[in-house]
Structure 1
Amino acid sequence: MQGTEERKRARVLDPVERITEVIFGLLMAMTFTGTISVATSGQEEERTMMIAALGCNLAWGLADAIMYLLRTLIEHTRNRTLRANLCGATDAATGQALIADALPPRIAAVVGTDELESLRRRVIEYSSTPLPPRLGWDDFKGAAGVFLLVVVSTFPLVVPFLLLDQTALAVRVSNLVGLAVLFIAGWMLARYAGAKPWQGAIALAVTGAVLITAIIALGG
């Protein structure tokens, strides 16, 4: 039972969601840190830009968390509607069609009538089992996780500005840190997808390098 609960907690946000939220927050912060060298001329202006970067990620983190709750609410409502429609279907063929429509297209294309009927019967069999609330505690924990991932991803890029006095050097180090994080994120995404980690890491790092170069060319 404890192992089941631990797996449930671990899946509040799946690996793809966690990693992509970090990438999103990182790229948002880079749009600020990459322009500091031309947009600032002193410590006070640099501090203002850092606050702006954090404020931007706070706002986007909040918006992303709300969108996560909205997606979850839609998914839960869709599941409730599907179960109600299955229980109210007048014949097996109608129920099987509902199941097929709910499956991903590639899976639905290879699932036969027997498998669809088995799924239909299982859903009806467990129709008396209460569904979770439309938005439960785990959903709000997931939204909080989304918010924190977007916000926390700002800090690795800010640290060089706290440790280095030379703004130009801090910008370059911050860009390298961002590139390293993108490399790691690409590695993790590719490994999760079953692809070659090096290819995913290099692809995402190159994408980040192109973005950093574009930011510098525009005045970073």
Structure 2
Amino acid sequence: MLTTSLDPQAAEVRPRLLDTVDRVCEMCFGLFMALTFVGAVSAVGAPANAPHTMFYTALGCNLAWGLADAVMYLVRTLTERGRRLSLVNAVRHAGDPAGAIACLRDALSPGLRTLVDDAELEPIRVRIARSTDWPERPTLNLQDLLAAVGIFLLVVLATFPVALPFLVFADVPTALLVSRVLTILMLFGAGIALGRHAGFGGWMAGVAMTLVGVALTMAIIALGG
């Protein structure tokens, strides 16, 4: 979809490695993964080394999924650039302006197609036709790699509020309680961040995210967590 600038330089400018939504979603992903695995381990019983087992199980899980998520981010980024480059080539090699504009219109999301007319797409077509600095193939840059590292770290670091109590408290039920409380507090903070980013009540979003966390925790408990 034509959702970003088609200028070859402006399209790559990012004020931050990851925006607020990316950061919060990756953190929540790590929290949910760690909480799920901690619950799964607790469901099989409490062996003598249960606290260490739960900590390293959750950490190992998020190391693996953090790596997978980071790699898939790079794949997604490369794919999106490939689609954008394909659109540019289709516009530049169209037989006439009407065909080029049709390519641009097809790339718009369904909701935008009825809001943008051909006259508004024409300047974009002209700019693409005149530009000469588009790459031959999509590539990744240092900023992409740093963003992938950021995703990996967010997922992994989200493990510790959930799993660290199992190294601090020898009693497994106590550690589970502290772990779940910390998880819910982090979800509340994540909800506030998302709410403020979206432009509506941060506290309401925090409460909503907390309710989601409570529901998830109750589901894990019901399943033996």
TM-score range, shorter chain: 0.7 to 0.9
Alignment of 1:31-180 (within 5 A): 31-35=36-40, 37-126=42-131, 128-131=132-135, 134-180=139-185
Structure 1 residue 215, shift from structure 2 partner? 1.4
Helix, strand or coil at the partner of 1:41: coil
Aligned amino acid, residue 144 of structure 1: V
Report the CA distance between 1:149 and its aligned residue: 1.0
The 10-residue stretch of structure 1 (68-77 or 187-196) with the greater mean CA deviation from structure 2: 187-196
Q: Is the 8 A contact 1:57 1:151 kept in 2?
A: yes
2:192 is the alignment partner of 1:183: no
Contact 1:26–1:178 (CA under 8 A) maintained in structure 2:
yes
Give the deviation of 1:103 after TM superposition.
2.3
Identity percentage of aligned residues = 43
- Would you say 1:194 and 2:199 are equivalent positions? yes
Report the count of equivalent residues.
213
Indicate if the aligned counterparts of 1:36 and 1:46 stay in contact, CA closer than 8 A. Answer: no
- Letter aligned with residue 181 of structure 1: M
TM-score, length-scaled by structure 2? 0.86
Which structure 1 residue ranges, 5 or more long, are not aligned? 1-6
**Partner deviation per Cα, 1:125-164 (whole Å, 9 max, x = no partner):** 22x1244851222222221111111111101112322322
> CA offset at residue 191 of structure 1?
1.8
* Shift in CA distance, 48/165, structure 1 to aligned 2, threshold 3 Å: closer
Aligned mate of 1:212, from 203, 212, 217: 217
* Cα distance in 2 for residues equivalent to 1:183 and 1:143: 25
In 2, Cα distance between the equivalents of 1:118 and 1:10?
A: 26
Structure 2's unaligned 5+ residue stretches are: 1-11
